Amino acid sequence: MKKVVKFGGSSLASAEQFRKAADIIHADKERRYVVPSAPGKRFTEDAKVTDMLYGCYHLAEAGENYSKELKEIEARYQEIIDGLGLSLSLKDEFKVIDKQFKEKAGENYAASRGEYLNSIIMAAFLGYEFIDAAQVIRFDENGDFDAETTNQMLRERLKDMEHAVIPGFYGAYADGRVKTFSRGGSDITGAIVARAVKADVYENWTDVSGFLIADPRIIDNPEAIETITYRELRELSYMGAGVFHEDAIFPVRREGIPINIRNTNKPEDAGTWIVESTCQKSRYVITGIAGKKGFCSVNIEKAMMNSEIGFGRKVLQAFEDYGISFEHVPSGIDTMTVFVHQDEFIDKEQKVVSAIHRLADPDCVDIESDLALIAVVGRGMKSTRGTAGRIFSALAHANVNVKMIDQGSSELNVIIGVADDDFEDAIKAIYDIFVLSQL
């Protein structure tokens, strides 16, 4: 068995956290390939090293003095090295970074140094070989991740290596210039490494005991989800539930490698399993609830709309012409509603409305703002009667007015539109009825 283990920023923010990670790695000899993030926050008001690097580089780029900021970053690493009792020195590395900053090597290079340096420390602490991600993770000339070239290079490089530490978050173009993934991208590197070595499990170590059923800022101590499918996860992540970078799913999904989200501070917790498919029933009918505020709905009315072929296309054309993507389009007999992100839409609303009038000739167009969408997701809904009924009676009891309902044909989720102000109450009511009342 082979496991790839990725540790997030808060799991590697201090020497103490490094020790926990090393204990976890040593506790299971199958944990062979390690992908570290940059040091994250040690306490709530602390700064992430990645953000410090961006800030420092922006000063360098503007020709301002950045030596104090760079020293602060160096001090973060030195504190970890000292705390671990290592004799390692990063002095020469910082000289190179300083020189590269002066030569304006770019913010991608700057940000990548967070993972690069943390991985050098991790490799020294574990006594494993360090592999610079710039040598094995490849981007093509358009800046897109080159999955196949990377897979070959990584597989070749790791084939005879028992252990290795590979920094997360970045790779390089063929000419060696460094390029990062989007923020939180170390998750993606972990998945890429898992694919290359055909790992049995991709363990993703973070600071929560898995994917939670609902947002802990709304629900006190929500339970963790035991098992979730990739599809369910996609629905929840799309609605803002974030523990894991969405793009990290693809490399492991194609190889059928399960992901296990674990808590570095509570290694005894089983965490959440993310799998292709499972016959395990989730403990509750629903797997998770997530949602987002800040939508608005554009309601279009036209008598006899149902018999006018092409009406929907004309309406959506108006949105497309102004580069606005739509989220949901529930429709009635003579009405059609288009849900869009308010902040994307607000500046263009009058243009879009007049385009709708021009293209589709409706009777009237009405806009409602400050709406929230909530997704109730669960593979168990398909085989359970009365789920929708329970959701809506819970919402009615909580005095929440439902403005939109959309159930996908996969029966994997129900999307509910409510006023922004009702958002928290609605989530509490749904959590109560499906989770708390089942305990």
- Residues binding ligand ASP (CB under 6 A): 9, 37-38, 48, 50, 114, 168-169, 183-187
- DSSP, collapsed to helix, strand or coil, labels residue 72 as helix
226 within 8 A of 269, measured Cβ to Cβ: no
Write down the least CB distance from residue 134 to ligand ASP, Å. Answer: 15
Write down the least CB distance from residue 181 to ligand ASP, Å. Answer: 7
Whose Cβ is closer to ligand ASP: residue 39's or residue 417's?
39
Whose Cβ is closer to ligand ASP: residue 186's or residue 260's?
186
Whose Cβ is closer to ligand ASP: residue 12's or residue 360's?
12
Write down the least CB distance from residue 167 to ligand ASP, Å. Answer: 10
Whose Cβ is closer to ligand ASP: residue 24's or residue 296's?
24
Q: How far is CA 56 from CA 68, 169, 328, 350, in A?
A: 9, 18, 41, 41
Write down the least CB distance from residue 192 to ligand ASP, Å. Answer: 13
Whose Cβ is closer to ligand ASP: residue 136's or residue 315's?
136
Whose Cβ is closer to ligand ASP: residue 47's or residue 388's?
47
Write down the least CB distance from residue 216 to ligand ASP, Å. Answer: 20
383 within 8 A of 309, measured Cβ to Cβ: no
Whose Cβ is closer to ligand ASP: residue 60's or residue 248's?
248
Write down the least CB distance from residue 40 to ligand ASP, Å. Answer: 7
**Tokens representing 117?**
């340096």
Whose Cβ is closer to ligand ASP: residue 248's or residue 415's?
248
Q: How far is CA 363 from CA 301, 318, 408, in A?
A: 6, 16, 29
H helices of 296-421, in order, are: 311-321, 342-345, 349-360, 387-397
Q: Cβ atoms within 10 A of the Cβ of 142, count?
A: 7
When computed from its CA atoms, the radius of gyration of the chain, rounded to whole angstroms, is 25
Write down the least CB distance from residue 402 to ligand ASP, Å. Answer: 36
Beta strand 288-301 with 326-328: parallel, antiparallel or unpaired?
unpaired
Write down the least CB distance from residue 188 to ligand ASP, Å. Answer: 8
Write down the least CB distance from residue 185 to ligand ASP, Å. Answer: 5
Q: Of 173, 180, 90, which Cα lies nearest the Cα of 135?
A: 173
Strand ranges, E, within 3-50: 3-7, 31-36
Write down the least CB distance from residue 310 to ligand ASP, Å. Answer: 44
Whose Cβ is closer to ligand ASP: residue 168's or residue 171's?
168
Whose Cβ is closer to ligand ASP: residue 38's or residue 56's?
38
The closest residue (CB) to ligand ASP is 186
Q: How far is CA 394 from CA 107, 312, 390, 391, 416, in A?
A: 49, 33, 6, 5, 13
**DSSP structure string for 146-214:** -HHHHHHHHHHHHTT-S-EE--SSEEE-TTS-EEE-STTTHHHHHHHHHHHTT-SEEEEEESSSS-BSS
Strand ranges, E, within 48-119: none
Whose Cβ is closer to ligand ASP: residue 98's or residue 207's?
207
**Cα separation of 98 and 114, whole Å?**
14
Burial of 249: CB neighbours in 10 Å, binned 0-12, 13-18, 19+: buried
**Cα separation of 96 and 93, whole Å?**
5
Residues 6+ apart with CB under 8 A from 35: 4, 5, 6, 7, 165, 166, 167, 168, 186, 189, 190, 193
Q: Which residue has the tokens 């009058």?
A: 350
Write down the least CB distance from residue 50 to ligand ASP, Å. Answer: 4
Q: How far is CA 24 from CA 4, 40, 126, 294, in A?
A: 12, 19, 11, 41
